[in-house]
Chain A
Amino acid sequence: MRRVIVAAMLLLAISIVAAGRAHSAAPTVVIASKQDTEGQILAEILAQLIEARTPYRVVRQTNLGGTLLVFAALRSGAVDAYPEYTGTIDATILHRTLTFGAIRAAMQRQYALYVSGELGFNNTYVLAMNAQMARRLHVRTISDLAAHPGLRWGVTPEFLRRSDGLPGLERAYALGAVDAVDIEKSLAYQALARGTIQVTDAYSTDGQLVRYGFATLEDDRHFFPQYRALYLVRDATLLAAPRLRALLRQLKGAIDDRTMRAMNAQVDIAHSSPDRVAAQFLARRFGIRRARAPESTAQLVLRALGRHVELTLVTVFFTVLLGVPLGLLAAQWPRVGHAIMKVVGTLQTVPSIALLALMIPLFGIGVIPAIVALVLYGLLPIVANTRAGLRQTPDELLDAAQGIGLSRAQVLGWVQFPIALPFILAGVRTSAVIAVGTATIAALIGAGGLGDFILAGLTLNDPRTLLLGAIPAALLAIFVDEAIYRIELLLRPRGRAGD
């Protein structure tokens, strides 16, 4: 039994290493971004510029989940470049406020990263309110909010915790502890429009501000730091792809606030794609015409579905390979079993973002870390059901099996395991359905799949895009559930029918 587990681990390790090798061989530049519209547009601009002006191959990972993930990916070498902001570098990466020159020097020294010239615009935090309510309450500046402690704030989780977000703001403006809940950005705008919340954080270049006609409050004490956009690029990438440097110089100062807000609005409100908006910008600014035609929506959905199925199947395969032996161990040795159940249960409670972030230094970004994370998430039902199934063998059968002279392995393999099989399969079914669902988060570290549409839909506040991902994912879950149930029926031992 121990041999089976060791073999499973080895297989997993080998496949991970092999996949990693296959990736690193190609002479490509990986351009990433977080999930926000602006980041995706900026990533596309750089990506398309590289494609138009250099022979380098470009790989896009424009849906990574947050600064934590994308920066970890950059450091690990899984990503070569992504757009970032001076304020974020100060607060999240270097943990001190520096001049641009000092940031450049520090990033170079500490992380061997090249900081490009600033692109021009400053996308800092602003606070937004419903325009009518702001007028009624006479709130024009952030200082004015001190007079209205009863307002409910709905802010992004990042803003809620960052020192340059809400905690610092409360101190700087002596607001006390405001009544704040964390809420996903696109939902925050809807909530603000409906009046469920009265204040939210926004970015100054956010196209949505125009659409909803929200009032933005003046930062009269200049609390919010500057968020000047730039690209972070690995030094190693500049060595391997030296023509990047000239392209980055061309983009310096090329995008002002107005241009950026317009591009954001194009995507967020007019439902254009970051890819198209970037192409239009490059055409206007540099006269670049795009070579490759964008794929149709149907093609994209089909490809994402294929990837999703792939992720699910591979995940289920490895989950079974790992989970069944673990359940076996847990059933055989109660004390080990307790420990295993604790670990597997705890894994389930780790927030997906945190788990994915942990994966990056080990496995980079893309399919491999996603599958590792999905396998860890899917273990519980299989381990628990295998353990329970094996332990519910009736005592008299164990007694008979041992008493007539079956070896321990035979008791397990011929009696306990077949009797537990329906339970184990039920666990596999649960796990597989979970895998279909959680595979949508795999998009956060660039594994693709239907999660790309769901994340994009959420980011762009576009239900149509969201449903393009959500509906196939739901159908896939139903299909997988039904398919495994059929297999269960086929494998169910006939003899148990009367029990």
Chain B
Amino acid sequence: MSETLIRFEHVTKRFGAHVALDDVSIDVFSGEILVVIGRSGSGKTTMLRCVNALVVPDSGRVFVEGRTVASGDVVASRRRIGYVIQSGGLFPHMTVAQNVSILGRAAGDAAQRRASRVAEVLATVGLETLESRYPSELSGGQRQRVGIARALYMDPPILLLDEPFAAVDPLTRMDLQDEFSRLHHRLGKTMVFVTHDVDEALYLGDRVAVFDAGRLVQTDAPDDLRRKPATEYIARFLQRRRARGDA
């Protein structure tokens, strides 16, 4: 594969007695979607938050674009990493346009530049003419797309997505997944995508990383994961979820 954009080296993180990440090492390659999957509390979200320094590891190191995270200007480096959370994490007192362009405002972009960039990214995620709406006036799917548009505003090389489609209904979720897949092929950005939905993981991921109790137990392409689950846990995890999916 191509070059490494994000690298975890023996990263461990504890919250009190709970070990959230246990000696995790992994490379994320430029342009891929790495889907991180596991049960709640397995460490997948903590892993994601190490990338944009919302979590600082107790030991080990995290490199983004060759530099250690949390050294230097954290705020500036976060602006090179798009961040999308469940329900979009939109600011309720701001319009769609204000939400999407907030980093432009932080960067001191002129109003005109902001407006045209907002139109661009909204078109990218398939939303037009919603600029002056407030989040409370949008559907769940629309909010999610606005969240992605906001993450794209600065055109960052990396996107972090934390269960972005968990809060929308199944049909909307499938639409969003399709669109997201197309978007990824078009934009070619490196993405780390956290989910607890096995089907979503297998469908979207170039590779899938499986977490269990803070440990990274297997990282493989979806087909390899299906064919050769590394542990009994993974096999059962895949089976059960797929059985339910087929029913």
Chain A residues within 8 Å of B, Cβ to Cβ: 396-397, 399-407, 410, 414-415, 418-419, 493-499
Contact residues in A for B90 (Cβ distance below 8 Å): 400
CB of B136 within 8 A of CB of A415, answer: no
Contact residues in A for B85 (Cβ distance below 8 Å): 396, 399-400, 403
CB of B92 within 8 A of CB of A414, answer: no
Produce 1/0 per residue, B94-122, CB < 8 A to A: 11000000110110000000000000000
CB of B106 within 8 A of CB of A397, answer: no
CA distance A198 to B163 in the complex (A): 77
CA distance A418 to B92 in the complex (A): 10
Contact residues in B for A406 (Cβ distance below 8 Å): 75, 102-103, 106
Residue in B91, B95, B137 whose beta carbon sits within 8 Å of that of A415 in the complex = B91
CB of B92 within 8 A of CB of A405, answer: no
CB of A405 within 8 A of CB of B78, answer: yes
Contact residues in A for B151 (Cβ distance below 8 Å): 404
Residue in B54, B86, B105, B136 whose beta carbon sits within 8 Å of that of A499 in the complex = B136
The distance from the CB of A206 to the nearest CB of chain B, in whole angstroms, is 62
User: Could you tell me the dominant secondary structure of chain A's interface residues?
Assistant: helix
CB of B86 within 8 A of CB of A496, answer: no
CA distance A147 to B135 in the complex (A): 80
CB of B134 within 8 A of CB of A405, answer: no
With A400-B83, A407-B75 already in contact, the answer to whether A496 and B93 are too (CB < 8 A) is yes
CA distance A399 to B86 in the complex (A): 11
Tell me whether B52 is interfacial, beta carbon within 8 Å. Answer: yes
Contact residues in A for B135 (Cβ distance below 8 Å): 495
CB of B134 within 8 A of CB of A495, answer: yes
Contact residues in B for A419 (Cβ distance below 8 Å): 91-93
CA distance A292 to B48 in the complex (A): 82
CA distance A121 to B52 in the complex (A): 85
Residue in A397, A405, A406, A415 with the greatest tally of chain B CB atoms within 10 Å: A405
Contact residues in A for B81 (Cβ distance below 8 Å): 405
Q: Chain B residue with minimal CB distance to A418?
A: B93
Residue in B87, B94, B102 with the greatest tally of chain A CB atoms within 10 Å: B102
CA distance A399 to B45 in the complex (A): 12
CB of B136 within 8 A of CB of A404, answer: no
Residue in B89, B91, B103 whose beta carbon sits within 8 Å of that of A399 in the complex = B89
CB of A494 within 8 A of CB of B134, answer: yes
Residue in A399, A401, A404, A496 whose beta carbon sits within 8 Å of that of B92 in the complex = A496
Contact residues in B for A407 (Cβ distance below 8 Å): 75, 106
Q: Chain B residue with minimal CB distance to A402?
A: B54
Tell me whether B76 is interfacial, beta carbon within 8 Å. Answer: yes
Contact residues in B for A404 (Cβ distance below 8 Å): 78-79, 82-83, 102-103, 150-151
Residue in B54, B89, B93, B106 whose beta carbon sits within 8 Å of that of A493 in the complex = B93
Contact residues in A for B150 (Cβ distance below 8 Å): 404
With A495-B93, A496-B93 already in contact, the answer to whether A399 and B106 are too (CB < 8 A) is no
Residue in B79, B87, B91 with the greatest tally of chain A CB atoms within 10 Å: B91
CB of A399 within 8 A of CB of B87, answer: no
Contact residues in A for B87 (Cβ distance below 8 Å): 396
With A399-B85, A498-B137 already in contact, the answer to whether A405 and B106 are too (CB < 8 A) is yes
Contact residues in B for A415 (Cβ distance below 8 Å): 91
CA distance A400 to B134 in the complex (A): 17
CB of A397 within 8 A of CB of B79, answer: no
Contact residues in A for B83 (Cβ distance below 8 Å): 400, 403-405
CB of B54 within 8 A of CB of A495, answer: no
CB of B79 within 8 A of CB of A495, answer: no
CA distance A405 to B150 in the complex (A): 12
Contact residues in A for B92 (Cβ distance below 8 Å): 397, 419, 493, 495-496, 499
